[in-house]
Amino acid sequence: MNLPFGTITVTDTARRLVLEALDSKRLSSGRLVRRFEELFASNIGAQEAVAVSSGTDADALALAALYDFGAKRGDEVITPALSFVATGNSVLQAGFKPVFVDVDLETLNIDPSLIESAITDRTVAILPVHLMGKPADMDAINDIARRHDLFVIEDAAEAHGATYKGRNAGTLGDMSAFSLYVAHIITSVEGGVVVTQREDFAEVLRSLRSHGRACKCRQCVINTADKVCPRRFGDGPDRRFVFERIGYSCKMNELEAAIGLGSLELYEEILSRRGANLAAMMQAIEPFAPNLFTFRQEPHERIGPHALPIIVGQDAPFTRDELVQWLRQNEIDSRNLFECMPTQCRGFAFLGYRLGEFPNAEYIAENGLHVGVHQDLGPAHIDYFARTIRDFVLSRSANLRTAT
């Protein structure tokens, strides 16, 4: 049996909308993108959504928007040491300095007890990550942010469907950034989206995604059937060539939005299937603690079913790489559980962090992996996964007994 890491569901609606867009020859950001933004915002429970070309761009633009609200280039952003590298990259791309904090070994998320000691007079924001869809401790993070007058931007790349104390992930900070990459619950193949409750943030974000233009309308009419913008020449120079801020070029296009609209159409069904798979696979890991462990779903939360993290315990009679090889031989695809960005990603070496400064992040990076829980997996796949894990652990335990 084959268990690939991810999948994509392309609906009939998506196919129809793609063909309509191709026939219209209006393929740049237009009515489909705006419709996707409206539905995504409604789905999350946010007032505004601004679609962009990737989850990394979503992080970077959310951060870059802070320049309009008092931030200065070179200011600091506190973020967890363990995440997909895009989190750290986006801080640098936005012109800020990432300040890394270790994570909690059980939740995989930033340890709030370590945040305050990392704050300086240059700190402008906290960028927590809901890693593998598990919500970070947002009450503690928001409390720290309020006391120090900091912005909070959620990296919710993997947190579609996650809830925290009755609220959706993505509505817990000033802005939040979602990835719409192909393996995610809501996908546009490539893409990302920033959501916020504040119209002033959204206006700046719409400018940033298009080179910093003065155009900030919710929907640009240039790429619609009308094609006439009453504001374009209304007060002097062509507004499309007035640039108010340093910007990016990262708009979502109509074909991506078409796929995203189809994905939203099946959102609840996909979420339900993936949630059931995640719960069953978490249960399959439980008997093998402490040699193998994963996160827990607490009563106050729902984990967004992005993937199942598995961490090899310190005294286990096998290594992460041996488990990965076993899974691969049995056609179960997996991914390592990222790297500790400041000490294990060479690109961040210039920041001067030293190996050993983030023991939990480094341990998870060296001993963790994650496997898919996607909607194309059913009970037979889950049973196969459970048997494969059991056979591996028992075989390695038997080898250890024989050796001793």
Q: Which residues, in sequence order, are bridge partners of residue 167?
A: 164
Number of neighbours of residue 236 by Cβ within 10 angstroms: 7
Residue pair 33/220 in contact by the 8 Å Cβ criterion: no
How far, in Å, CA of 83 to CA of 61, rounded?
18
Alpha-helical runs (H) found in 196-266: 199-208, 254-265
211 is catalytic: no
Q: Residue 385: which residues within 8 A CB-CB, separation 6 or more?
A: 3, 281, 284, 332, 371
Number of neighbours of residue 34 by Cβ within 10 angstroms: 18
Residue pair 254/354 in contact by the 8 Å Cβ criterion: no
Residue pair 309/132 in contact by the 8 Å Cβ criterion: yes
List, as one string, the DSSP characters of 274-312: HHHHHHHHHHHHGGGTTTEE-----TTEE---SEEEEEE
Residue pair 191/160 in contact by the 8 Å Cβ criterion: no
Residues across the chain: 404
Q: Which amino acid is at 326?
A: W
How far, in Å, CA of 222 to CA of 30, rounded?
8
From 130, 160, 184, 306, the catalytic residue: 184
Residues catalogued as catalytic: 184
